[in-house]
Amino acid sequence: MPVQAQQGIASPRTSAGLGGLAPALILIGLFFVVPVLALLLRSVTDPVAGLQNYAALLGDGTYARVFFNTFLVAFVVTIVTVLVAFPVAWMLAIMPPALASLLFSIIILSMWTNLLTRTYAWMVLLQRTGVINRALMSVGIIDQPLPLINNLTGVTIGMVYIMLPFMILPLVGTLRAIDPMTLRAAALCGASPFAAFRRILLPLSLPGIAAGGLMVFVMSLGYFVTPALLGGTSNMMLAEMIAQMIQSLLNWGLGSAAAFILLVVTMALYALQLRLVGNSRATGAA
Amino acid sequence: MLLDYDRLGWLKVALLGFTTLVAAFLLLPMVFIVLLSFGSSRWLAFPPPGWTLKWYEDLFADPSWIEAALTSARIATMTAILAVAIGLLASFGLVRGDFRGREILRGLLLTPMVLPVVVFAIAVYAFFLRLGLGGTTAGFVLAHTVLALPFAIIPIATALEGFDKSIEDAAIVCGASPLQAKLRITLPSIRIGIFSAAIFSFLASWDEVVVAIFMASPTLQTLPVKIWGSLRSDLTPVIAAASSLLVALTLALMIVTALLRRKLQT
């Protein structure tokens, strides 16, 4: 009997936990899981039952181009973001606190400012008669304005701008977790700065780079706003194509099938990212 | 010596130079937009030929901008309240609960953050059309709460994990009811997490574009929908004026956050 009584005390806590989760589960179940599943169902039933929507998407050159563009942009954006973010995160990790908090404020300001505001700024900056083209022309680097907008160049610049904070901030954490003594030891043993970078700093920050890079890649794949505003009509990306299929063409079958492909790719990469983060945590703890 | 700021030598000069450039790159759009909003050129010439407040006057003279801003504020406030309330309850379950499948539930509740918004947007758009919630405030708030919930759960759950439960238990031993102990001991201790959750879920709704584009009706549009519509027709400097006010709002929010954090931590 005492054992049962103890269980009687322990079980309310457990069920209280579940009870607390109820509102969240109802919200997510009813307004997230059900709509997404209904969309999935629509992709194989609209206009008739079958896989014809997927066949159409995967068999057509126009759509193949959109998929290719999307992966290309996401890939280039990720590489550029990693290359730009690493030195900044490196400095942030070791800079004097006053300087670091100033830099953090700039990053947060950029991150928290309305997405459309930032994209609008780039639309004006990058246009044919924009500041950047004028500056380059007045310095004499170019004598014709460069086409910086309505193409993949514009999308890449705008996307790198948006993704930078998402790469810098987690990388600072990774770099701060590295023990400076390992690098001091390398220097004492005669390693050149370059060798110390290549053989110690870079390998130790690789889990952070991989996790952050994968996150940027996944976010870029499904991004809608910036590609729609800075990109051109001839090189559309996947999210924009999905929106257009639904909003302008009212082709629900094709649109939901494309959305489902995006969902599967995203979730698979996200699962990979979770494993990477988990592994880096495990090695960090070891 | 690569992680020793004072002993980097020439590398420090190079890295600091690069970091300064990136900081300038990050600041550029905001500074540019604010300057542009005071420029007199209708065609956004820069540097502006003269300075004016005309675009702000135009902005405030147009009731549709004011109305869109108020709609956004209303929807974002309701979203933040709902997301924090639901997220708070859920965090207790996720952190304290002891049942099978807890990690799976956590993953499920955080999924709206990783799923591309456009997928959720068309799914919920179709669903709400059928329910008759399309173009309604309730539809907006529900859809935004789904998107905001992860941003509410993460800071609250993190704060709760860092809170020592034995203090709450001590209060119960001393005669407080479990609810009293939670309200008077636990909640004040995790207030920074709750506060961050409120800010983040407000911003998640206030800045949300994609769901809003699908959900909006001619009579109900949020500020991002209004900006989106203007951006697609032309790049009028009125958008620069509206954007500058949004930059000012972000700055104000950052300052309030920093001050409150300092106050709450002491």
Domain positions in chain A: 63-285
Answer whether residue A145 shows pLDDT above 60: yes
Of B108, B123, B210, the CB nearest to A28: B108
Rg, Å, chain A Cα set = 24
Residues 114-153 of B with CB under 8 A from A: 114-127, 142-143, 145-146, 149, 153
pLDDT, position A12:
46
So what's the ipTM on this one? 0.89
pLDDT, position A1:
39
| Contact call for A109 and B251, based on CB within 8 A | yes
At B219 the three-state DSSP class reads coil
| Contact call for A28 and B89, based on CB within 8 A | no
| Strongest mean pLDDT among A132-146, A264-278, B153-167 | B153-167
pLDDT, position A16:
53
pLDDT, position B263:
83
> 10 Å Cβ neighbour count for A83?
11
Answer whether residue B14 shows pLDDT above 70: yes
Residues 8-27 of B with CB under 8 A from A: 11, 15-16, 18-19, 22-23, 25-27
pLDDT digit string, tens, across residues B171-203: 999 999 989 999 999 999 999 899 999 999 999
Q: Output A158 or A191, whichever has higher pLDDT.
A: A158
**Distance, in angstroms, between B177 CA and closest chain A CA?**
14
> In which band, very low, low, confident or very high, does the pLDDT at B42 lie, cut at 50, 70 and 90?
confident
Contact residues on chain A for B87, CB-CB shorter than 8 A: 24
Q: Which of A270-274, B210-214, B224-228 bottoms out in mean pLDDT, i.e. has the lowest?
A: A270-274
Answer whether residue A182 shows pLDDT above 70: yes
Note every long-range contact of B110-114, with CB atoms under 8 Å and residues 24 or more positions apart, other chains counting.
Answer: B110/B150, B110/B153, B110/B154, B111/A28, B111/A32, B111/B150, B112/A28, B112/A32, B112/B146, B112/B147, B112/B149, B112/B150, B113/B147, B113/B150, B113/B151, B114/A218, B114/A266, B114/A267, B114/A270
pLDDT, position A281:
52
Which CATH architecture describes the domain A63-285?
Orthogonal Bundle (1.10)
Interface test with A, best of B122, B165, B210 (most A CBs within 10 A): B122
pLDDT digit string, tens, across residues A65-109: 999 999 999 999 999 999 999 999 999 999 999 999 999 999 999
Which helix (H) or strand (E) covers residue B129, if one does?
Answer: helix B117-131
The per-residue pLDDT of chain A, averaged, comes to 88
Contact residues on chain B for A17, CB-CB shorter than 8 A: 92-94, 96-99
Of B2, B36, B214, the CB nearest to A193: B2
